[in-house]
Structure 1
Amino acid sequence: MTEPNVLVLDAPSNLGLNPPEEGSTPGCYKLPWALHDRNLMDLINAGDAGSLVPPRYLAHWEPGEGDRNAESIANYSVELADRLIETIQTEQQVLVLGGDCSILIGNMLHSNVVVASVSSS
């Protein structure tokens, strides 16, 4: 098999979403594992860049508190951007498998980062 020119980085976040119903957590963070279970890595001949574990999702929110999980989204975005910069140094393309669209913030924080991002939201 040839050397992979794509690295897959999992960023399984659901921080930017409202809970689908009282007491539940959005399940979109499962997207990377669902794709791995379907042999994505072999299908696209990709290497593994690991996973960036997101902060815990907090469903509770009250009017006037600002955006739900805003601080966690901000911190996770910086961590993701830092991880992408490290990964891109390999001169391979990076495919980020996320959960919700909030991972796009981390993908775009560095102007030299060109990343394809898959999000289920």
Structure 2
Amino acid sequence: MKAFLTIGLLLVSNVFMTIAWYGHLRLKEYSWFSNMGLFKVILFSWGIALLEYMAQVPANKIGYTGNGGPFTLWQLKVIQEVLTLLVFTGFAVFAFKTETLRWNHLVAFVFLVLAVYFIFKK
């Protein structure tokens, strides 16, 4: 149960972080947002990032073996990175119609899946 909760929280945190980091690139199309200066955009992104931290920190606390969770620190990091790329891929393809998923991206993802395999190998 802790494994699913950890992964779920990591997924939620990655959705918020992707929006915080890259969402402003899409929101510039809206007049209310395009008139914001850089400082306001940073504050806007920080507000979203706060939501990311509210999921990320509990995920790591619940999932870490040192706290009775099922994952080592290394495993938590690799899971987080794979989820980051999955979330980012969906965001890039669906929110930005100009971005294309190419074969080299898929090859890179295969290597990340291999990283997950090897990080869990005893």
Please say whether Structure 1 and Structure 2 have the same fold, judged by a TM-score greater than 0.5.
no
| Structure richer in helix, relative to its length | 2
| Structure richer in strand, relative to its length | 1
Larger radius of gyration: 2
Looking at both structures, which has the greater relative contact order when contacts are Cα pairs under 8 Å and sequence separation is at least 6?
1
Normalised to the residue count of structure 2, the TM-score between the two structures is 0.36
